[in-house]
Amino acid sequence: MDNHTILEMQSITKEFPGVKALDNVSLSVTAGEIHAICGENGAGKSTLMKVLSGLYPYGDYQGQIVFQGKEMQFRDIRSSEAAGIVIIHQELALIPELSIAENIFLGNEPTRFGVIDWDKVNLSAVELLARVGLSEDPTTKIKDIGVGKQQLVEIAKALSKSVKLLILDEPTAALNEADSQHLLDLMSGLRSKGISCIMISHKLNEIEQIADSITIIRDGKAIETLHIKNDGVDEDRIIRGMVGRSLESRFPDHTPKIGETFFEVRNWTVGHPNVADRLVCKNSSFKVRRGEIVGFAGLMGAGRTELARSVFGRSYGNFKSGQIFKDGKEVTYKSVPQAIEAGLAYVTEDRKSLGLNLLDDIKTTTVSANLKKITHNFVVDNDEEYRVAEEYRKSLRTKTPSVNEGVAKLSGGNQQKVVLSKWMFTDPDLLILDEPTRGIDVGAKYEIYGIIQKLADQGKGVIVISSELPELLGLSDRIYTIFEGSITGEVTREQASQESLMKLMTASRKSA
């Protein structure tokens, strides 16, 4: 390796039971550069950074990490920080009730005779804050400053640990335009002082603006490393690298039988549940026809889930304005029971924390959204429950010894089938499926696609929200793209390509 290389990750392979998350990935970062890592959700970017920061300790993976010419064997985050590698996660690790200075020195407090030297803490904090261009009183509590400033405090914290390599995971995801620009400027400032950065980002325009080189990761493999200036890289080039693969026949054959429009949402606007002025959905309008599978494409955090959940009985955020029309009539669903009653169903992207009661068994889960149907004279009919669950087990081919099994024991694909049967039992007109195949193996995916198509053929409308573009292209009849809470485009299956969707989803400046 040459003198300019600060970090060399060589042939990193990381396996989880049954899966290779990283397959022989190598990454090389030059001293004093900003190195971007790009890839779709789940491509393996975060896993790679977890290996680098010691979250997956040495021995847990194969391959070598050479940092500043020495081979490193990190046992935990502390040991990687001691070497000068600091990671800043997308969800900031700050304690809201503590002051800026306390947060900066948390776990690393300067002491005199075993007592924290508060004067020193606050003085050093002022210095560090100056370096990141933040003029705040170091005794201000974290909860009293905005997300943008919190991000800067995180960087100041990293600087306090004499960082040599800073890893930023989606640093601007939660920031507005001005804060993002400030952060990017700060990063170039750090670069000029010789601190290297690794930056994971979906915002390709930012990468093009600031990064020196890019490594693209796809399906757990490092596809290529590009130099922005030498290789003349632009957004199109990056997108091609990220999605560069062909569609195989991973979808059952299907001829859609599309009817008339029966569900329409107009100018839907929703506020963030906690942050007063932030909007999670901005003026979104969309419609669904009977028998149609409509795709919602957008990257994580774009507002897809927020839009879906707020339509589903306002179960997310603060409803501001908008109208829903069903079968030509204007309707309002103010609660989830109302939405279910009206024939809506929402399958969440987060099966474990929002979709299932993991203490329940399969049969209880199957009937849980429509207990009414099997209740006679206030008594839940257990035989009917068993019969219904058994019926869905057979028709969806859920693999389980019996419907008396706990749902926690099932694999992801079978859990998803149970969740689908729960909603099919409510006999909905419109199903909203949020990442219906997340964490599910290929075979089960195929089956789930088949179920979705069958539901559409019964004349139901289906909305599929997905981060996986091939999935949307293979399944949907029409696709809306969402970026930062707004619907940025609507394309038919014939018009759509991964490149054109990715452009709309990242709101590329040169939009298609």
Partner 1 sequence: MNSLKRMFGGNTRQFGMIFALIALILFFQWQTGGNTLTPTNVINLFNGNAYILILAIGMVLVIIAGHIDLSVGSVAAFAGVVVAISIRDWGIPWYLGIVLGLVLGALIGAWQGFWVAYVGIPAFIVTLAGMLLFRGANQYVGESNTIPVPEAFQFIGAGYLPEVGPVTGYNNLTVLLGLLAVGFFVYQEFSNRRRTAQIGSEVQPLWISVAKLVLLAAAILYVTSLFATGRPGTSFPIPGLILAVLVIIFAFISNKTVVGRHVYAVGGNRHAAELSGVQSKRVNFLVMMNMSILAALAGMIFVGRSTASGPFDGVGWELDAIAAVFIGGAAVTGGVGTVIGSVIGGLVMAVLNNGLQLMGIGADMTQIIKGLVLLIAVAFDVYNKSQGKPSIIGLLTRNFGGGRNKPDAPSAPEENPAAREAVGTKQVL
Which residues, 435 to 454, sit near partner 1 by CB under 8 A?
Answer: 437-442, 445
Burial 203-240 (b: 16+ CB within 10 A, else e): bbebbbebbbbbbbbbebebbebbebeeeebebebbbe
17 binds partner 1 (CB under 8 A): yes
CB 324 → partner 1: shortest distance, Å?
Answer: 17
Q: Is 18 in the site for partner 1 (CB under 8 A)?
A: yes
Interface of this chain with partner 1, residues 467 to 496, rule: CB under 8 A = 468, 470
Rounded to whole angstroms, the Cα distance separating 344 from 366 reads: 16
Is residue 369 within the footprint of partner 1 (CB under 8 A)? yes
Point out which span in 145-153, 258-266, 366-374, 391-399 binds partner 1 (CB under 8 A).
366-374
Q: How far is the CB of 328 from partner 1 (least distance, A)?
A: 25
Kindly provide the residue ranges of all beta strands, DSSP E only, lying in 52-195, ordered along the sequence. 62-67, 70-72, 85-88, 111-112, 115-116, 165-169
Binding part of the chain for partner 1, among 198-206, 251-259, 337-345, 497-505 by CB under 8 A, reads 337-345
Say which residues have a Cβ less than 8 Å from residue 348's Cβ, sequence separation at least 6: 305, 354, 355, 434
Question: 174 and 272 in contact (C-beta within 8 Å)?
Answer: no
Using the rule CB under 8 A, give the single segment among 94-102, 295-303, 365-373, 498-506 that binds partner 1.
Answer: 365-373
* Residue from 455, 460, 498, 452 nearest 479 by CA: 498
* Residue carrying structure tokens 């640990």: 161
Nearest by Cα to 10 from 60, 72, 94: 72
> Judged by CB under 8 A, how many residues of this single chain contact partner 1?
71
Q: Residue 66 CB, nearest distance to partner 1 (Å)?
A: 24
Nearest to 268 by CA among 250, 283, 249, 256: 283
Look at the block and give the residue holding tokens 């049954």: 18
Choosing from 28, 47, 160, 416, the residue that interacts with partner 1 (CB under 8 A) is 47
If binding is defined by CB under 8 A, does position 406 make contact with partner 1? yes
* CB of 360 or CB of 490, closer to partner 1: 360
Told to check if 44 binds partner 1 by CB under 8 A, we report: yes
- Looking at the Cβ atoms of 41 and 261, the one nearer to partner 1 is 41
Q: Which of 179, 219, 264, 391 binds partner 1 (CB under 8 A)?
A: 219
Q: Which of 1, 95, 331, 371 binds partner 1 (CB under 8 A)?
A: 371
The residue (of 25 and 190) whose beta carbon lies closer to partner 1 is: 25
Tokens encoding 287? 């419609």
DSSP 3-state percent helix, strand, coil across the chain (nearest 5): 35, 30, 40
Is the alpha carbon torsion for 309, 426, 351, 365 positive or negative?
A: positive
- Does the protein bind partner 1 through residue 57 (CB under 8 A)? no
Q: By CB under 8 A, is residue 93 in contact with partner 1?
A: no
Other CB atoms within a 10 A radius of the CB of residue 365 amount to 22
376 binds partner 1 (CB under 8 A): no
Among 115, 178, 276, 359, binds partner 1 (CB under 8 A): 359
Residue 77, interface with partner 1 (CB under 8 A)? Answer: no
If one asks whether residue 360 binds partner 1 (CB under 8 A), the answer comes out as yes
